[in-house]
Amino acid sequence: MATLWHAVVPGLARTWGYLPMKAMGQGHDVPRDVALEWAKWGRDPKYILQWVESRENKEAFATYRGALRTYSFSDDAYAPRRAVLALAKAYEGASKSHVHLEPRDIGTKRIGHFALLREAYEPTLWASARHFFAESLAD
């Protein structure tokens, strides 16, 4: 991951003027400045929380009182379980639940980082998220 954040992401973004995620089979292309900010977050041990702490409304994370479900996947190198749980800690007042899945749990060979964005996961991951949202809205 260090190579990704220190060299790959900034290097590609500066060279091409954007981060060619589509060409790498990783989703959609990312604008240059967004990719550079993402790489900056990736180099910081607090990741996105360093950005949150610099904002005027930084207490919004801690004061959120609603339901929060986080997901992690065993084959996700971008956001392993430990990182997901660390981010969830910022939501101190939330009613939290965490789901950690292995590909075999949903009958697939790979989930990765971008699974929730792929239509192929509608019957499994999307259905789980929809159920959670429906329950949360009913409360």
Q: Model confidence over 18-49: pLDDT tens digits?
A: 999 999 887 789 999 999 999 998 898 888 88
pLDDT in tens, 81-102: 998 998 898 898 999 999 999 9
User: Whole-angstrom Cα distance, residue 14 to residue 24?
Assistant: 16
Would you say 10 and 39 are in contact if contact means Cβ atoms under 8 Å apart?
yes
Residue 75 — pLDDT band, cuts 50, 70, 90? very high
Which pLDDT value is given to residue 117?
78
Share the mean pLDDT of the chain: 90
Q: Report whether pLDDT(58) > 80.
A: no
Across the strands, what pairs with 18?
Answer: 31
Q: What is the pTM of this model?
A: 0.75
The percent of residues above 70 in pLDDT, for the chain, comes to: 100
Burial annotation 90-126 (CB, 10 A radius, 16+ → b, else e): bbeebeeeeeebeeeebebeebbbebeeeeebeebbb
